[in-house]
Amino acid sequence: MKFEAFKAAVMAAAQSEGLTDYELYYVCDEGVSVEAFAHKTKNFTSQTSGGACFRCIVNGKMGYASTEQLSEESARSVVLRAKENAAVLETEEEVFLGEGGKTYAKIERESYPLPTTEKLIETALAGQEATYAADSAVIDGGETGAETFRRSVAICNSRGLDVKSDLSGAFCYIEAVVSDGSEMNNSYEIKVGSFDKLDIPATAAKAVADAKSKLGAGVAPTGSYPVIFAPKAMADLIATFTGIFSAENAQKGFSRLLGKEGEVIAAPCVTLTDDPFYPDAPMPMVFDAEGSPTFTKNIVENGVLKTLLHNLKSAAALDKITTGNAAKNGYDGAVEIRPFTFCLAPGDLTEEQLLAQAGNGVYIDFLGGLHAGANPISGDFSLQSAGFMIENGEKTRAVRSFTVAGNFYDLLKQIAAVASNTELRSMGGVTGFASPAVLVNGLSVAGE
C-alpha cells in the first residue's frame, strides 16, 4: 500500500474510533551505496526502510504506535494501539499537536543530480586508487564508498497540518590504512555534496596524511595543559553535550541550564547558533517533527544563554514559544528536542595564532568513546584522545592513547580563544555540528 492510501485508512480509522486529536508522521529512507576494497568493488547495497507513526491525544495524554507495514490492517492496528498506550501514561504535562496554515522558509540551495550507480562505482574505485597513489605506506584495508540518500518526510494531523519534505543527496568517504611495517593506523574523510565538485586525490591525500601523521606516536605526559581541540574534535564534544541545551532535559532535571536564560554560562568568545539551513548540511529542514517552521537562532551569544531549544510542549510549560526544534529518533520515536546544525561561531584567529597563544600544551584532533567516557547529565568527561604536543606555539610530535578530562559546563567558561577554521561534522540525517578549533585553558591529560 502506498503512503497516501495508508494515510487515508489511518485517518478513517481514527475518526471511527471517535478520536479528535491525532497525527500521522511518515518517513521513507532510500539509499544506494557502493563500497570498494583492495582495488575492487566489495559491496553494493540498495535500501528502502522507514515507517509511519500514529499518535493521538486521549484524556490529555499522547499515545504513540508505529509500523513499517503499510496495510489496511496495520492502519487500524496503530490507531487502536496508540489509544491503548495513551491510557497508561501518567505525565501531567500538557501535550500539543501543531497547527496547520504556517508559513515556511524557502531553501535557497542549488540542487544537484544524484549520481548514477555507475558513477557511484566509479567514485568508490577512484577513491581506492587515489589512496594507494597518495603514499607507499598505504596498505590494503581501507574502504572507500559512495552513497546516495533520499528521505521523504510527511506529517498530517487533525489540526489541518499537512506538510511534506523530499530531500536527497550524495556523499563519499575514503578510509586510508597505512603501515610502517611495525604498526598500522587509519583515518577517514567524508565529503557530502555533488560528486562533480569532489576532489578525490586531495581527499584521499588528506586521509593518508592524517593516518601517517600518527604512526609511531608516543603518549602525552600526564599533567594539566592548555588544550586546543581541532574543529572535528570540538564538534564531537559539542555533539556529546548538546542535550544540556534541551528545555525538556532541563525541565526534567537532566541539565543544569533551567532558568539560566540571560546568565553568563560561557566565555565571551562563545556564540552557539542553531541553523536548520546551514550551507553544507545534507538535509536542510523547513519544518520540525511537529510541523513547526524552523529558523536560525543564537542559543548562546557572547557567553550569555539566550534560549534553550524547545518543542511545543517544553515551550508551553515555560510560557514561551517553540524554537522549532522538535525531533524524532527515527520515524517511531516520541517527539523530543534536538538542534539541526549546531554551530560554534568562528573567531578571527588562524589556527597558527591559536597555537601561538597556547604556547605549550596538547593539540587534540581525535576524541574516542564519547558515548561512554562522557556523562551528558553531570557534564564530566574523560575521553580517549590523539593529537600532537604543542611546543613553543607549534605542533610537534604525535601523541595518542591518552585521555583528556574535564567538565563541559566548566569548559564552556574556560574557552580562551576560538579560531576561524570551521568544519562540519554531519551525524547523518538532519543533525550536524560545526566548530572551529578552540583553545581551552587547564585541562587534565592522563598519559605516561
Which window, 58-66, 146-154, 164-172, 267-275, contacts other proteins (CB under 8 A)?
A: 58-66
Q: What is the footprint of other proteins within residues 304-333 (CB under 8 A)?
A: 332-333
* For other proteins, the closer CB: 220 or 343: 220
User: Coil, strand, or helix at residue 142?
Assistant: coil
Nearest-approach distance from CB 375 to other proteins, in angstroms = 7
* For other proteins, the closer CB: 441 or 444: 444
Nearest-approach distance from CB 51 to other proteins, in angstroms = 7
Q: What is the footprint of other proteins within residues 362-421 (CB under 8 A)?
A: 368-369, 371-373, 375, 377-378, 380-384, 386, 400-406
Is 448 near other proteins (CB under 8 A)?
Answer: yes
Please pick, from the candidates 4, 94, 140, 352, the single residue that binds other proteins as defined by CB under 8 A: 140
Q: What is the footprint of other proteins within residues 206-235 (CB under 8 A)?
A: 219, 222, 224
Nearest-approach distance from CB 79 to other proteins, in angstroms = 12
Q: What is the footprint of other proteins within residues 341-360 (CB under 8 A)?
A: none
Q: Which residues contact 368 (CB under 8 A, 6 or more apart)?
A: 383, 384, 385, 386
∠ CA 71-23-320 to the nearest 5 degrees? 160
Report d(CA 245, CA 310) in Å as an integer: 9
| Alpha-carbon separation of residue 233 from 349, 423, 437 (angstroms) | 18, 10, 8
Nearest-approach distance from CB 333 to other proteins, in angstroms = 7
Is 361 near other proteins (CB under 8 A)?
Answer: no
Is 182 near other proteins (CB under 8 A)?
Answer: no
Binding mask 244-283 for other proteins (x = CB under 8 A): --------xxx-x---------------------------
Is 148 near other proteins (CB under 8 A)?
Answer: no
Is 141 near other proteins (CB under 8 A)?
Answer: yes
* For other proteins, the closer CB: 163 or 383: 383
The strand pairing partners of 29, in sequence order, are 49, 151
Look at the block and give the residue holding cell 535500501. 47
Look at the block and give the residue holding cell 584522545. 385
Q: Look at the alpha carbons of 418, 421, 425, 430 in this order and tell me if their dihedral is positive or negative.
A: positive
* Percent of the chain that is helix, strand, coil (3-state, to 5): 25, 40, 35
| Alpha-carbon separation of residue 47 from 2, 33, 43, 143, 365 (angstroms) | 17, 9, 13, 20, 33
* For other proteins, the closer CB: 18 or 253: 253
Please pick, from the candidates 20, 69, 360, 396, the single residue that binds other proteins as defined by CB under 8 A: 69
Is 112 near other proteins (CB under 8 A)?
Answer: no
R_g over Cα of the chain: 24
Please pick, from the candidates 13, 24, 27, 51, the single residue that binds other proteins as defined by CB under 8 A: 51
Give the number of residues in contact with other proteins, rule: CB under 8 A: 80
Q: Look at the alpha carbons of 264, 265, 267, 268 in this order and tell me if their dihedral is positive or negative.
A: negative
* For other proteins, the closer CB: 259 or 268: 259
Is 39 near other proteins (CB under 8 A)?
Answer: no
Report d(CA 162, CA 3) in Å as an integer: 13
| Alpha-carbon separation of residue 294 from 32, 104, 277, 301 (angstroms) | 29, 8, 9, 19
Q: CA neighbours within 13 Å on the CB side: how many for 339? A: 30
Is 116 near other proteins (CB under 8 A)?
Answer: no
Is 26 near other proteins (CB under 8 A)?
Answer: no
Please, are residues 327 and 288 in contact by the beta-carbon 8 Å criterion? yes
Q: What is the footprint of other proteins within residues 120-139 (CB under 8 A)?
A: 139
Nearest-approach distance from CB 332 to other proteins, in angstroms = 4
Report d(CA 346, CA 182) in Å as an integer: 40
Please pick, from the candidates 75, 177, 234, 272, the single residue that binds other proteins as defined by CB under 8 A: 177
Which window, 90-98, 262-270, 305-313, 348-356, contacts other proteins (CB under 8 A)?
A: 90-98
DSSP codes joined into one string, 51-116: EEEEEEEETTEEEEEEES--SHHHHHHHHHHHHHHHHT----S------S------------PPPP
Please pick, from the candidates 183, 199, 263, 352, the single residue that binds other proteins as defined by CB under 8 A: 183
For residue 182 the three cell numbers come to: 611495525
